[in-house]
Amino acid sequence: MSEITRRDFINGTLMVAGASVLPFGCTNPSVLDTLDPEYYPPRLTGLRGSHPGSYESAHERARSGKSDWGEAEDKDEVYDLVIVGAGISGLSAARFYQKKYGEDKKILILDNHDDFGGHAKRNEHTVDGAMKIGYGGAQTMESPSRYGTNTKEILDDLNVKPDDFYQAYDRNFYKDQGLEYMTYFNKRTFGEDKVVPCKIGNYAYVMDGVGKVAMEIEDAIEHLPLNDKAREQILFVMKGGDDPLKDIPIKERRAYLENTLYFDVLRDKFGVTEPLVFEIFRSIPNDLESSGADVLSAMEAIWSGPPGFSPEELPALLGEDWGDDNDEDYDPYIHHFPDGNASIARLLVRKLIPEVASGNTMHDVVLAKFDYDKLDREENNVTIRLNSTVVEVKHDGDVEKSDQVTVKYINEGKTCQVVGKHVVMACYNMMIPHIVPGLPEEQYKALRRSTKSPLVYTTVGLKNLKPWKEKKIAIAACPGNWHQIVFVDYPVSMGGYNYATSEDDPIVINMIWIPYSKKYGVPPREQFKETRAKLLEMSFDKFEKEVKSHLTGMLEGTDFDAEKDISSITVNRWSHGYAWSGNQLFEPDMRENAKVGRAKFGRITIANSDAQASAIMHAAIDQAKRAVDEIVI
């Protein structure tokens, strides 16, 4: 089974519209008076995530092989440690390094985005003068009671008390508002817009506090906008078929399930033939598995939601004890800051650079105003330099004998360079072989294989909850749509920030899209490549049109008016999203591959969740600790 059982883990309208307007190039902004004091990326809406200006230089290097960046402006800066990547892994590496070697050490953190946090991005929406908070990627601390020593050390250092979420998260909210699980069928795919109060399969998505569905599938089946044959096939699969594995000896069933595509089982053992049935089932596990069900083994499908078999059936089905890996081992899914894991990134930044924001608790960070002008100051022991895409990390001389590493990066179109006594590469690992020359061949090949699946987290600021309450939607599975999951954000109030308490209050909704190929069964890596290119070609206007169309269709029959009720849309487009772990049928060795890729190389060590081929927060922190422990000074 995949390690990921729940997701750890959305046109600029601010005065500054993105990375390209920042006034400083290679010059330290502490000596400039031109930095806009209102520069505050979390308030930017429109196209975020892999925003324009954040990826072009990297693509020139990796895709086109560009190596001549012109003469670099030597900033005459030497650091004890240079970290490439200001996500949770890079920020954690800086803190582990401080704790090990002293807070007086000079650390530079470079990041290609206009904000820190990596995928842990904070989205702020202003709705009728009220600030509503959402998240643009990493969503939650997943089961913190199961965390290892490294992550617990970071959380303790940041004064994060997971038990406080039992008070912060209103577990009665959805019930009090009458909100439930739903499935939305759109007119474009199914011929009509229709919301049905049922689940088809088991959502891989968790909404703590949402009760059972209003209709079991037997009662809901006649309401599905499908032909009779498709309804019959869906019901047959969801009821478990007619002893579908009866022709396979019991001792061979586990191997069969682990080595057979789920879609083949649907076709061969359940007799599914209707295209829309495959389409519906395909979308169910996408957020859990970073792909559609068309590339999962039948065993993986059992654990991630599509119907046919359930985990509870496995002991009888296989004639063996399946162990204790089930949801009862996990904490309730309540450990969400209003901005997801962006608060962990903010807490780390505040710990590293105390002047950037006031406060010292997990609660006060929620509304703390961060002064981005304080991130890159000459007097800082830790400096975070945004909008800086690293294009070369090279030892000065022989790798084994070198006592420093030169780091070149592009900032505002200028080539700059600094020197680090050591470097931690906490960036996307697939970029490392393009920017670190001289890697051993085996490590080079392993890093080239590292990959991430595309991901879109869209957050929408809405005037109020009324239409959602009318339609009774807490969360909707949306087969046939770009965004396959849409839900009313988690009801968390903390640090003076208050979630909605009535239907008249403004809210943020979340829309998740895991893009995949139109063709079933295409290997995941090829699907990632295809859909990554598609995402990067899309304008915000296209996203906006789709969001408005989706919500208008889903909320049909209410007073919802997209033009009046939507205050803002933030599309967090991650062309490289979840770190991919591989699966049983496609590249199952990705975690072993990551071990080869993360080997120390002279004075360069490697972090990021990619180094564990896992998309969970504690993987990013574990790899940061390992990378720092490999440094010898």
> 533-589, pLDDT tens digit by residue?
999 999 999 999 999 999 999 999 999 999 999 999 999 999 999 999 999 999 999
Q: Is the pLDDT of residue 503 over 70?
A: yes
Give the range among 327-336, 360-369, 539-548 with minimum mean pLDDT: 327-336
Q: What is the pLDDT of residue 14?
A: 36
pLDDT confidence band for 28 (50 / 70 / 90): very low
Rounded to the nearest angstrom, the gap between the alpha carbon of residue 36 and the centroid of all alpha carbons in its chain is: 29
pLDDT confidence band for 328 (50 / 70 / 90): low
Q: What is the pLDDT of residue 285?
A: 84
In whole angstroms, give the CA distance from residue 495 to residue 133.
13
Using alpha carbons, list the distances in angstroms from residue 140 to 286, 310, 363, 549: 17, 26, 15, 28
In whole angstroms, give the CA distance from residue 214 to residue 182.
9
Q: What is the pLDDT of residue 326?
A: 52
Name the percent of the chain in helix, strand, coil, to the closest 5: 35, 20, 45
Over residues 265-274, the mean pLDDT reads: 97
Quote the percentage of the chain above a pLDDT of 70: 92
pLDDT digits (tens, 9 = 90+) for 599-614: 999 999 999 999 999 9
- Of 379, 470, 383, 445, whose CA–CA distance to 177 is shortest? 470
Residue with tokens 């959402």: 134
The pTM (predicted TM-score) of the whole model is 0.93
Q: What is the pLDDT of residue 322?
A: 66
pLDDT confidence band for 288 (50 / 70 / 90): confident
Over residues 270-289, the mean pLDDT reads: 92
pLDDT digits (tens, 9 = 90+) for 38-97: 789 999 999 999 999 999 999 999 998 998 998 998 878 999 999 999 999 999 999 999
Strand ranges of the sheet holding 73-79, from the earlier edge strand across to the other edge: 73-79, 414-420, 405-411, 388-395
Q: What is the pLDDT of residue 39?
A: 86
The whole-chain average pLDDT of the chain stands at 91
In whole angstroms, give the CA distance from residue 617 to residue 7.
10
Quote the percentage of the chain above a pLDDT of 90: 83
pLDDT digits (tens, 9 = 90+) for 436-468: 999 999 999 999 999 999 999 999 999 999 999
Encoding tokens for residue 463?
A: 């005037």
pLDDT digits (tens, 9 = 90+) for 170-180: 999 999 999 99
Beta carbons within 8 Å of 249's beta carbon, 6+ residues apart? none
Alpha helices in 450-559 (DSSP H): 466-471, 524-537, 540-554
Question: What is the domain partition of the chain in residue ranges?
Answer: 72-120+336-448+586-629, 219-329
In this structure, CATH architecture of domain 72-120+336-448+586-629: 3-Layer(bba) Sandwich (3.50)
List the beta bridge partners of residue 184.
Answer: 195
List the beta bridge partners of residue 494.
Answer: 497
In whole angstroms, give the CA distance from residue 489 to residue 410.
37
pLDDT confidence band for 207 (50 / 70 / 90): confident
Enclosing H/E stretch for 350:
helix 342-352
Beta carbons within 8 Å of 609's beta carbon, 6+ residues apart? 89, 579, 615, 616, 617, 619, 620, 623
Better-predicted residue by pLDDT, 34 or 301: 301
Q: What is the pLDDT of residue 24?
A: 35
